[in-house]
Amino acid sequence: MKTDLTRRVALGLAAGALALSATPASAQVSFEGETIEWIIPFSEGGGSDKWARFYAPLLSEALPGQPTVVVKNMPGAGSTKGANWFADNADPDGLMILGTSGSTQFPYLLNDPRVKFDYADWTVVLATATGGVAYMPPDLAAQFESDPQALFENTVFIYGSQGATRLDLVPLLAWELLGMQVEPIFGLKGRGDGRLMFERGEANIDYQTSSAYLSNVLPLVEQGQAVPVMAWGALDPDGNIVRDPSFPDIPTFKEVYTRIKGEEPSGPGWDAWKAFFVAGFPAQKMVFLPKETPQEIVDAYTAAFETIIARPDFKEVSLPHLGVYPQSTGAAAKVRMEQGTVVSEEAKDWVKNWLRERYGVELD
């Protein structure tokens, strides 16, 4: 059965065809009086939640008919629960969208048996690049700077994690390559829960994606409760890792490795880390509609996000929430999606072996 919105789209198309109207197709869609659910498969307070809640009121204003956009958190199973639910329940009427992150992409890339969705079944309308920052309590951060080898030998780091096959793979592998003893507490429903563990003193190392770091961790830094020790970095046009533009004063993991080890990282472990870093961060957060969604509705969403990004004040209002990263729509978003959902078989195999040996995770 067609929804009211689908019927309105069909009627609008018929009227437009009869009149041979030159009006853009997206203008024939109206969400007036509707409520759009934005599914975020993570708990409140993490980077994906912050990202969606920043965009939601702007999207409400920019979509035709100015519908109400409600963020609905649906955490569980490292985001696969919410993504699976969207795949099973979203109608192609534009009234439900999904926001994913690298923690959704990685289980898909690694053939996690809990994944029941396929990115090929969805249409991307926004892709947001982001970064990530790792931080420690001030005393450990001081030792990390002055005598990291002694710190690594004498300290067991406790880290609240969603799971080793999620986006947490990037920090866990980075820290292992450095030689750190990190014991993750798995099963968290979102990175916001990891930050809360750190604030309560239950964890002594944490990392957050840029949006959550800017909103929730920077105040801890300013209060002297946390000190950033490394950022994952960003990619330059040639694919080299450079400093994150949102955190130009924080060294990259590559820089930290070189300082501690006395040489630049190399080898299969580094190659795998970089491959998953690229998959997880240049297209770290994406917004999807079901693939069967009429093109007119897809165009309406694309135009809405383009309108938001083109706002004269967008850079100013987004900076405290998103940092300085590309926001991609249309063909550019599709390129970003490919970056986030394609990794070489060599990198996958290396990571699967590492997960098996290090954490007993069997994915095949």
Are residue 20 and residue 115 in the same domain, yes or no?
yes
Domain, as residue range, for 121: 4-129+281-341
Are residue 148 and residue 119 in the same domain, yes or no?
no
- Residue (of 251, 112, 109) closest to 178 by Cα position: 251
CA 241 – CA 254 distance, rounded (Å)? 8
Are residue 50 and residue 74 in the same domain, yes or no?
yes
Q: Is residue 351 part of a domain?
A: no
Are residue 259 and residue 223 in the same domain, yes or no?
yes
Q: Is residue 354 part of a domain?
A: no
Helix (H, G, I), strand (E, B) or coil at 187: coil
pLDDT at 289: 98
The domain that holds 263 is classified in CATH as 3.40.190.10
Q: What is the DSSP string of 211-261?
A: HHIIIIIHHHHHTTS-EEEEE--EE-TTS-EE--TT-TTSPBHHHHHHHHH
Let me know: does 215 contact 102? Beta carbons within 8 Å.
Answer: no
Token pair of 275 as six digits: 């491959």
pTM for the whole structure: 0.80
Token pair of 178 as six digits: 């450095």
Are residue 319 and residue 268 in the same domain, yes or no?
no
Token pair of 47 as six digits: 């980077």
Bridge partners (DSSP) listed for residue 98: 39, 288
pLDDT at 349: 96
In tens digits, the chain (364 residues) has pLDDT values of 334 444 344 333 333 333 333 334 455 899 999 999 999 999 898 889 999 999 999 999 999 999 999 999 999 887 999 999 999 999 999 999 999 998 899 999 998 899 999 999 999 999 999 999 999 999 999 999 999 999 999 999 999 999 999 899 999 999 999 999 999 999 998 889 999 999 999 999 999 999 899 999 999 999 999 999 999 999 888 889 999 999 999 999 999 999 999 999 999 999 999 999 988 988 789 999 999 999 999 999 999 999 999 999 999 999 999 999 999 999 999 988 988 898 999 999 999 999 999 999 998 7
Domain's final residue, options 265, 280, 295:
280
Bridge partners (DSSP) listed for residue 209: 132
Are residue 136 and residue 268 in the same domain, yes or no?
yes
Token pair of 153 as six digits: 């030998």
Q: How many domains are there within the chain? A: 2
Are residue 157 and residue 205 in the same domain, yes or no?
yes
Are residue 139 and residue 268 in the same domain, yes or no?
yes
pLDDT at 27: 55
Are residue 314 and residue 335 in the same domain, yes or no?
yes
By DSSP bridging, strand 241-242 and strand 285-290 are unpaired
- Residue (of 204, 216, 281) closest to 46 by Cα position: 216
Are residue 59 and residue 155 in the same domain, yes or no?
no
Are residue 72 and residue 14 in the same domain, yes or no?
yes
Calculate the alpha carbon distances from 11 to 26, 30, 290, 359 in Å: 13, 11, 21, 55
pLDDT at 282: 81
